[in-house]
Amino acid sequence: MLAEAKRTVRVPLGDRSYDILIGPGLIASAGREISARLKGRKLAIITDENVGALYLPAFMESLGQSGLTATSLTLPAGEKTKSFEHLISVVDHVLEARIERGDAVIALGGGVIGDLTGFAAGIVRRGSRFIQVPTSLLSQVDSSVGGKTGINTRHGKNLVGVFHQPDLVLADTDVLDTLTPREFRAGYAEVAKYGLIDKPDFFAWLEKSWRDVFAGGEARIEAVAASCQAKADVVAADERENGARALLNLGHTFGHALEAYTQYDSARLVHGEGVSIGMVLAHQFSARMNLASPDAAARVIRHLKEVGLPTTLQDIPGEMPTVDRLMDAIAQDKKVKGGKLTFILTRGIGESFIADDVPASEVVRFLEEKLGQ
């Protein structure tokens, strides 16, 4: 058996370039990795109650051993924490800790903690140093890379935030062992997404090797590193999402609408599950528009189902949304121009593209069929 090796993916963004370290044991070696790269000695750690209970003591100890001092703030777990209310708490904690130039703010947790903390770091003193220690699969392969930060409001998801790149990302692949299977699967939806966007070979490898990725070890490190590399490539080409970066939204227009409809209630739906259903819908809608063969959609459904992810609207527990409600959420999330929507559609596995002229009326009809309304 091969020894498990640490990988480094570099995100090349000029003077905002940074490294993503991926591998086992990074919580234990965090102090060494951070102190080698940071001028300051002060850190403010933001975490949530689940992750904090499991990893905060070991993380703090590792920092202390490298001569770093850290304060910490533990917030409730869950999507509702991405709010103005908690943003204010984080900002207050960071100011109270007197984090200054050279020091850093650290997000220790999943995408919720990463998005919220990154936003706070982006606005304290108009931009403070920021380190991501993503602990969920979703945050390791997606949200911790690329500098998008934000919170939700009653108007929709991630409508308020800034672009603020981290200075370092430490993705410890061991900590994924304590994720619930449901959260692991949700993150896996984003891994599969990179294959579906433009890497058909990676998707085929996942169809074959997903059990190893779930089990841990080399295949997991490989899947995380390949995903980070895929995201880094897109981000480097289009940091502020003016063009090609929109491809990363495959499955997300439908997904976000479903999240809004279920009011970010994670008992009903978590982000990656919304993306899973959204990717299936994007492939089915593409087939309906005669852009792709129905076989592609069938293959996507087969793989996501096998993994245990939801693939239809009916898989969401509770009352079904109405078409109107979903279309409202879609209109707020994306811009509608003269009855046309921007969507990520596909010509087949790994052949996604940006379509900016999708008739809203076609989407309505498609959803009516799906919902039997």
Q: What does the binding site for a copy of itself look like in residue numbers (CB under 8 A)?
A: 84, 88, 91-92, 95-96, 98, 100-101, 119, 122-127, 148, 150, 153, 155-156, 159-163, 240, 332, 335
Task: Assess 168 for contact with ligand NAD (CB under 6 A).
Answer: no
What distance lies between CA 203 and its chain's CA centroid? 18
Give CA–CA dist 171/210, Å, rounded: 19
Give CA–CA dist 101/39, Å, rounded: 9
Give CA–CA dist 1/8, Å, rounded: 21
Per DSSP bridges, beta strands 42-48 and 69-75 are parallel
What distance lies between CA 265 and its chain's CA centroid? 17
* Catalytic entry in 129, 256, 303, 370: 256
Give CA–CA dist 141/231, Å, rounded: 8
* Catalytic entry in 164, 231, 283, 303: 231
Task: Assess 140 for contact with ligand NAD (CB under 6 A).
Answer: no
Active site residue 256: yes
Please indicate if the annotation marks 113 as binding a ligand: yes
Picked from a copy of itself, ligand NAD, none, the partner binding residue 179 (CB below 5 to 8 A depending on kind) is ligand NAD
Nearest to 187 by CA among 276, 114, 113: 276
Picked from ligand NAD, a copy of itself, none, the partner binding residue 335 (CB below 5 to 8 A depending on kind) is a copy of itself
Please indicate if the annotation marks 115 as binding a ligand: yes
State the nearest-atom distance from the C-beta of 342 to a copy of itself, in Å. 11
Please indicate if the annotation marks 271 as binding a ligand: yes
Give CA–CA dist 337/334, Å, rounded: 10
State the nearest-atom distance from the C-beta of 158 to a copy of itself, in Å. 8
Active site residue 10: no
Q: Write phi, then psi, for 20 (nearest 5 degrees).
A: -110, 115
Write the CA distances from 90 to 74, 78, 130, integer angstroms.
Answer: 10, 16, 13
Picked from ligand NAD, a copy of itself, none, the partner binding residue 237 (CB below 5 to 8 A depending on kind) is none
Q: Which of 26, 63, 77, 169 binds ligand NAD (CB under 6 A)?
A: 77
Task: Assess 112 for contact with ligand NAD (CB under 6 A).
Answer: yes
Tell me the window of 268-276, 298-306, 345-353, 365-373 that interacts with ligand NAD (CB under 6 A). Answer: 268-276
State the nearest-atom distance from the C-beta of 114 to a copy of itself, in Å. 15
Give CA–CA dist 144/114, Å, rounded: 6
* Catalytic entry in 129, 271, 299, 303: 271
C-beta atoms surrounding 252 within 10 Å? 25
Q: Which is nearer to a copy of itself, 162 or 298 (CB)?
A: 162
State the nearest-atom distance from the C-beta of 183 to ligand NAD, in Å. 5
Task: Assess 165 for contact with ligand NAD (CB under 6 A).
Answer: no
Task: Assess 186 for contact with ligand NAD (CB under 6 A).
Answer: yes
Q: Which is nearer to ligand NAD, 166 or 321 (CB)?
A: 166
Give CA–CA dist 97/44, Å, rounded: 7
Look at phi and psi of residue 89 and say left if phi exceeds 0, alpha if psi is from -120 to 50, else beta: alpha
Give CA–CA dist 71/138, Å, rounded: 26
Active site residue 249: yes
Which distant-in-sequence residues (6+ apart) come within 8 Å of 131 by Cβ?
34, 43, 104, 105, 106, 107, 166, 167, 168, 169, 170
Give CA–CA dist 370/367, Å, rounded: 5
Residue-level length of the chain = 373
Tell me the window of 95-103, 162-170, 266-274, 347-355 that interacts with ligand NAD (CB under 6 A). Answer: 266-274
Task: Assess 86 for contact with ligand NAD (CB under 6 A).
Answer: no
Annotated binding site: 111-115, 135-136, 148, 157, 190, 252, 271
Footprint on this chain of ligand NAD (rule: CB under 6 A): 48, 50-51, 54, 77-79, 82, 109-113, 115, 135-136, 138-139, 142-143, 146, 148, 158, 175-176, 178-179, 183, 186, 270-272
Q: Which residues are catalytic?
A: 126, 148, 190, 231, 241, 245, 249, 252, 256, 271
